[in-house]
Structure 1
Amino acid sequence: MVDTISTQSEKIDIDFKSIPLNPLGKNDIKKLETFLIIGTLYRPEILELIKDPNERSTWIDSLAIAAAAYARYKAGMPISLIADELGRSEETIRNHISGKTKAGSLIIETYEKIKSGQLNLILSFNSSNKELDELKNQVKNLKEEIEKLKGERDELKNIINNKEETIKSLQIEIGRIKSDLDKISREKEEIINKYKLLQSKLLEIKRILENI
């Protein structure tokens, strides 16, 4: 008896024409962000890179942040707000949206291809059930990695926020101490002036007494 392997042939034609290139709201931003990631991830050089588990997390995180930043930038969102929303520094966001980073450069190239209508992506699968299950597991693992990275990002963001609050408290305390020191300095100056005045009066009284 010969075992047969069931195969399935699937094609997914992704329509990039309906993508909002200048998003007007959160839904539009999410659409553009998602399609920028998809359009970039399926570039041959990126597919090759993410085969390596050591490179996968780094690339997916970088591309996800670059796509999210660029989509928000195209929606007219200020860089400071993008940085705050994505938990990255303003410098990192600027580098992504200007194409100074590799991830940012790839995302911008994808955007320009979408804009010019040059990007056509058809995903073709001709796989056994076993291979499809493996692909599903890979997708699941990638999603878990993204969620893990998001969790780490949020944790770091909370740590930074807590440190910022501590710094603010210390700055307030330093300001209070400085104010107290200034007050003490002024009081000291007043005491010195009063002492000098008192000395002057004592000398004057002494001279008067000597002349009696």
Structure 2
Amino acid sequence: MSGETTPGEKTQVGGAQGSSGEVIDLTNVPLKPLGKREISQLEMALIIGTLYRPEILELIRDPVERSTWVDSLAVAAGAYARMKAGLPVSQIAEELGRSETTIRSHLNMKTKAGKLVHETYEKLKKGELKLVVPFIRTPVAGCEEQVKALEGELEKQRNRLKELEAKISELTEAVKQREEEIQGLRSGAEALKRELEERVKELESCRSNVDSMRKTLEDAARLLQEALSMLQHVANHG
């Protein structure tokens, strides 16, 4: 193709900001890419440059057209970028997952996508491709009143937060006092428990002594009874 740049040459479209939008900078897009990275750069530039054409923007409003058209455009741009890098049709078809017939149709501009991508490339090469992204300005009418209302609500919430924090502090102090009281009661209960245990031990000791004394008395009573029986026997037979 006549008038092409030498390998590695870049386009000279600079980025600038206009009154109605921002110009996308395509200065560093390689027209004769070397390697996968530069191929991807040219491929993306061709896709974006073609999509921003008015007739394409109108076309892709239709969901049905969009699904088929965007896919066709992506294949055409990918094929064109790889062709400019010197890749053979067979390799392009393999990388893009399409038949060689489809790739040739795009490259030979027999498809609408292929023709538009070629036109985009020519504009890119001549420095005529300027993509302006319009600014989106949000309406500001009534915003001040809304801001004031929100600020007022925020102040109310802040005051409410202070009240809650004060209440929490008060309850925390009350809980602390109750915890101290509970700790005092717990200590008293522990002391009573220890005293009760001592009393139980003393009681058990007393019970043991009583049992021992009862046994001793029972033994003494039995011996006394035996002695009385013997004396009675002697008296009767004396």
Deviations 1:151-180 (A, max 9, x none): xxxxxxxxxxxxxxxxxxxxxxxxxxxxxx
**Aligned partner (choices 72, 75, 89) of residue 79 of structure 1:** 89
Q: Tell me how far apart the structure 2 counterparts of residues 50 and 14 of structure 1 sit (CA, whole Å).
A: 21
Which residue identity does 1:14 align to in structure 2? I
**Aligned partner (choices 59, 65, 77) of residue 69 of structure 2:** 59
SS of 1:85 mapped into structure 2 = helix
Matched, 1:90 2:100: yes
**Aligned partner (choices 56, 59, 70) of residue 49 of structure 1:** 59
Tell me how far 1:122 sits from its aligned partner: 1.3
SS of 2:136 mapped into structure 1 = strand
Tell me how far 1:92 sits from its aligned partner: 0.5
Tell me how far 1:128 sits from its aligned partner: 3.7
Tell me how far 1:14 sits from its aligned partner: 1.1
**Aligned partner (choices 17, 23, 26) of residue 33 of structure 2:** 23
Structure 1 runs of 4+ with >6 Å offset: none
Q: Tell me how far apart the structure 2 counterparts of residues 10 and 116 of structure 1 sit (CA, whole Å).
A: 23
> Partner of 2:23 in structure 1?
13
Q: Tell me how far apart the structure 2 counterparts of residues 19 and 12 of structure 1 sit (CA, whole Å).
A: 18
Tell me how far 1:65 sits from its aligned partner: 0.4
**Aligned partner (choices 13, 31, 48) of residue 38 of structure 1:** 48
**CA contact under 8 A between 1:17 and 1:114: conserved in structure 2?**
no
Q: Tell me how far apart the structure 1 counterparts of residues 137 and 41 of structure 2 sit (CA, whole Å).
A: 28
SS of 1:122 mapped into structure 2 = strand
**CA contact under 8 A between 1:99 and 1:108: conserved in structure 2?**
yes
| TM-score, normalised via structure 2 length | 0.49
Tell me how far 1:18 sits from its aligned partner: 1.6
Q: Any unmatched runs of 5+ in structure 1?
A: 1-8, 130-212
CA-based RMSD: 1.7
> Partner of 1:166 in structure 2?
none
**CA contact under 8 A between 1:96 and 1:103: conserved in structure 2?**
yes
| TM-score, normalised via structure 1 length | 0.55
Tell me how far 1:10 sits from its aligned partner: 8.6
**CA contact under 8 A between 1:10 and 1:126: conserved in structure 2?**
no
Q: Comparing both structures, which one devotes a greater share of its residues to strand?
A: 1
Change (3 A) 1:28 1:43: same
Q: Tell me how far apart the structure 1 counterparts of residues 111 and 132 of structure 2 sit (CA, whole Å).
A: 27
Q: Tell me how far apart the structure 2 counterparts of residues 11 and 54 of structure 1 sit (CA, whole Å).
A: 29
Q: Give the total of aligned pairs.
A: 121
Deviates more, 1:117-126 or 1:50-59: 117-126
**Aligned partner (choices 116, 124, 129) of residue 126 of structure 2:** 116
Equivalent pairs: percent with the same residue? 64
Q: Any unmatched runs of 5+ in structure 2?
A: 1-18, 140-238
Tell me how far 1:16 sits from its aligned partner: 2.0
SS of 2:135 mapped into structure 1 = strand
Structure 2 counterparts to residues 156-195 of structure 1, below 5 A? none
Q: Tell me how far apart the structure 1 counterparts of residues 20 and 53 of structure 2 sit (CA, whole Å).
A: 19
Q: Which has the larger radius of gyration?
A: 2
Q: Tell me how far apart the structure 2 counterparts of residues 93 and 106 of structure 1 sit (CA, whole Å).
A: 15
SS of 1:81 mapped into structure 2 = helix
